[in-house]
Amino acid sequence: MNNTPKIETLGIVIPVYRSTETVRLLLEQLSIILAPLCSYHVYLVDDSADFNISAYLKERCSGKQVTLITLTKNSGQQNAVLCGLRFACRHPAVLTMDDDLQHPPEIVPALYRKLSEGFDLVYALPENHDKSLLRCLGSRLRDFFFPTAKVSSFRIMTGEVAKKAASFHGCFFYFSAEVFKNPANGRDLQTGNLFYQKPARCFGKSGYSLKKLIILYGKLLVYYTPLSALTTFLKKECNNLYEIKEISPKLMVLGGSNCQLHALERARERSIVTILADYTKNPPAKELADIHEPVSTFDAPACIEAAKHHHIQGVMTLGTDQPVLTAALTAKALGLPSFLTEAKARSVTNKKQMKQLLSQNNIKTARYLFLSKEGTFYDTAGNPAEFTLKPPYVLKPLDSQGQRGIFKLYTKEAVLERLPETLSFSREDMALVEEFYESDEITVSGWIKNRALTILTITDRLLYPDTTHIGVCIGHRFPSIHINRYEEIKTVCDQLTHVFSLENGPFYLQLLVGGQGIFVNELACRIGGAFEDVTIPYLTGFSILDAVIDGALGYPVSFPLTPDFRCDTGKKASFVLLLFCHPGRIAHITDKDKLLSLPYVLDCGFNYAEGSQIPVMENATARFGHAVLVGTKESLARDIKDFYKQLQVLDENGKNLIQTFNEIQI
């Protein structure tokens, strides 16, 4: 099943040379004119080499539909266009236009429609020509060089034409000459023209001059005519035609595992420069990031230093708990947008603070004590306490993730014996001990807008069958078997939103549903780690990943769901398989593309490659991969079985290492 992110239909390249107000007005007009027509993205290429111009463009011309590319020095309009084309050529259609409002944005829809008639390239030309001697000379020279087409810098082309032009490597670039004169690009393009009334100039003055005219057409003679073979001595040694100083916006993504992969993919689709913070040498998301900083997402000072070095405009994470705090600290240090303050981020990432807030507000949670590294138990107020919990017990780090250091134990002595191992996964000198609550686990994903929570999904969190290493998830099923308790679940969620003073952003909650009612297990303010960035758009139509990216960059967040939306009324279903293997060395894995071609598979990925050694499962880090399956409740029962038949992870002896968990009804 194809799950390709949306690409804006139209890419617009605007070279900017010492223009300010006209650029702002142009962007405003394009927004009004193009919104009903198509999705688009603008690439401003600042060729001014002027700090004040750059500062103005950053402050007044930024936005979610704009990428600002600042060049180190003035490189000329054509080179600025080349730079922009290399970014914009991913779009199905690409437009280039000037920055001075002499190319009226109101005719862009007509250009767009004309291109769709089957043309490869359409030029827009003014009907009311400037009659000056210089302009007439320029027109004559242009017609001489391009006798088969009337050309201009106001044009629209297919993405293929843009890609061919963007692939240029040489000493002198001129778009129309490259398209028509270079045999490698072919000369059978279907071209057309559209004529318009040129508006009066309201800002500045034209930079057109006789000197520039002579230089331009002299270079065209040297580089794009048969004379070029005779004038090689005139050609300068080729240098870089332009050098990029900075691209914005820049987004730091904390974590580069498979559950963060889609954030890097989506940022790239949106032409956002990404700085990946991940301490591993080759995380899965590295190849999608523009820059990889090998720093730990737990190391806030290192992440802050990297963020300052790269002058980022936003920071985010998803699918993982502790980097939520690092993101908030980084945003605070750099004065960047953030859904959470430092205090709120600490309250949803540290289980001690979380449990204390739950107890203070009489919210049901498993009975607990805190245990110091010296072996002393403390109550919620921090006072030494007798160990009165009833077995079995759950021992947890206060600030870890991925079920690291979590154990189900049956005696006080076993708790004390396992304590050093649990604390080895923590930065705290205390751990959490809870009474084990016999229950089903469910997760709630939602979005908070102006303190009002909308529940997006309620899923069953199915667990790995291990009596010691507990909490490791093997699947998420929507809808939950407990979705009939929607009102009760919503009441708990609203209470938590109020108690933790949550105002905007993602909401992720783990609940325990058992004989004593619904208990809160853990609260987080992030997209879940079971690929909710894939399932939520499928189930609801809301792109929660785009919303998190927009919020991190300070853009307005689009939330299309109405206040009366309920996730318990739809027909769609999903099942996220979190895949595990028996220990062994991998000799063969079924091709991922084959699995993605299955009609019920929305997404899948592997954490291990052929030749890797699968370890014994102790926590979620041993997970082999994932698959997102979609359909109806009835169809998924069949599709899950079929998927396990299709997927093979074979060892050297041909044994399939995949665990299917047939003993669990999934």
- Which residues lie below 8 Å from residue 71, measured CB to CB, with a gap of 6+? 45, 46, 47, 49, 80, 83, 242, 243, 244, 245
Strand partners, 48: none
d(CA 106, CA 664): 61
State pLDDT tens for residues 82-105: 999 999 999 999 999 999 999 999
What are the tokens at 533? Answer: 């960035």
Compute the mean pLDDT over every residue in the chain, rounded to the nearest whole number. Answer: 90
- 8 A C-beta contact, residue 85 and residue 43: no
| Domain residue limits at 293 | 256-338
Of 149-153, 509-513, 660-664, the range with the highest mean pLDDT is 509-513
310 with 389, same domain?
no
Question: DSSP letter at 37?
Answer: T
The answer as to whether 172 is a domain residue is: yes
Say what the pLDDT of residue 5 is. Answer: 45
d(CA 5, CA 269): 7
520: helix, strand or coil: strand
The answer as to whether 293 is a domain residue is: yes
Mean pLDDT of 496-524: 97
Looking at 165-169, 397-401, 518-522, which range is the least confident one? 397-401
411 with 556, same domain?
no
What are the tokens at 225? Answer: 């005519």
Q: Where are the beta strands (DSSP E) in 149-264?
A: 155-158, 191-196, 244-248, 250-254
Say what the pLDDT of residue 149 is. Answer: 82
d(CA 230, CA 223): 10
390 with 513, same domain?
no
Give the pLDDT band of residue 598 (cuts 50, 70, 90). very high
State pLDDT tens for residues 477-505: 999 999 999 999 999 999 999 999 999 99
654: closest CA among 597, 608, 587, 565? 587
Instruction: Report the CATH number that the domain containing residue 169 is assigned in CATH.
Output: 3.90.550.10
The more confident residue out of 119 and 617 is 119
239 with 273, same domain?
no
The answer as to whether 487 is a domain residue is: yes
d(CA 535, CA 629): 9
DSSP string across 611-636: TPEEPPPSSGGG--EEEEEEE-HHHH
What are the tokens at 56? Answer: 């103005």
What are the tokens at 130? Answer: 């400037």
Say what the pLDDT of residue 146 is. Answer: 74
Residue 140: phi and psi, rounded to 5, are -65, -45
80 with 42, same domain?
yes
The answer as to whether 360 is a domain residue is: no
Q: Is 149 exposed, middle or buried (0-12, 13-18, 19+ CB in 10 A)?
A: middle
d(CA 639, CA 646): 10
265: closest CA among 543, 39, 643, 14? 543
The answer as to whether 184 is a domain residue is: yes
Report the amino acid identity of residue 301: P
What are the tokens at 547? Answer: 């919303």
Q: Give the count of domains, the chain.
A: 4
253: closest CA among 526, 63, 538? 526
Whether residue 233 is predicted with pLDDT greater than 70 in this model: the reply is: no
96: closest CA among 178, 170, 169? 178
Q: pTM for the whole thing?
A: 0.85
Residue 413: phi and psi, rounded to 5, are -65, -40
Q: Of 322, 338, 354, which one is at a domain's C-terminal end?
A: 338
The answer as to whether 354 is a domain residue is: no
Residue 457: phi and psi, rounded to 5, are -145, 150
Q: Which residue, chain included where needed, has tokens 């909401």?
A: 507
Give the pLDDT band of residue 220 (cuts 50, 70, 90). confident
- 8 A C-beta contact, residue 476 and residue 461: yes
State pLDDT tens for residues 561-596: 999 999 999 999 999 999 999 999 999 999 999 999
535 with 591, same domain?
yes
Say what the pLDDT of residue 4 is. Answer: 44
d(CA 421, CA 425): 7
405 with 462, same domain?
no
Mean pLDDT of 242-271: 94
Q: Which residue, chain included where needed, has tokens 């600002």?
A: 68
Say what the pLDDT of residue 359 is. Answer: 96
503 with 399, same domain?
no
Say what the pLDDT of residue 390 is. Answer: 97
